[in-house]
């Protein structure tokens, strides 16, 4: 069995006042409130989403 690589991200800033597509990206990553943490598979699509909203999240 192969182990999947995962990445943990934490929402550190509120998406209020941000672009609508950035807010949708935050929701797509499974983040709701400030300081919420989500653990996702480390795929190029997820990395792209993290790069898009890098000013809102922190990679743990």
User: Which residue positions in the chain have pLDDT lower than 70?
Assistant: 1-2
Q: Distances from the Cα of 23 to the Cαs of 5, 6, 18, 38, 44, in angstroms? A: 25, 22, 7, 15, 20
pLDDT of residue 3: 75
| Of 43, 12, 5, 41, residue with least CA distance to 26 | 12
pLDDT at 1: 53
Q: Coil, strand, or helix at residue 22?
A: helix
pTM: 0.88
DSSP state letter for 44: H
């Amino acid at each position: 069995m192969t182990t999947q690589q995962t990445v943990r991200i934490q929402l550190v800033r509120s998406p209020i006042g941000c672009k609508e597509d950035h807010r949708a990206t935050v929701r797509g990553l499974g983040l709701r409130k400030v300081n919420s943490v989500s653990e996702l598979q480390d795929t190029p699509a997820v990395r792209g989403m993290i790069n898009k909203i890098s000013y809102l999240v922190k990679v743990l």
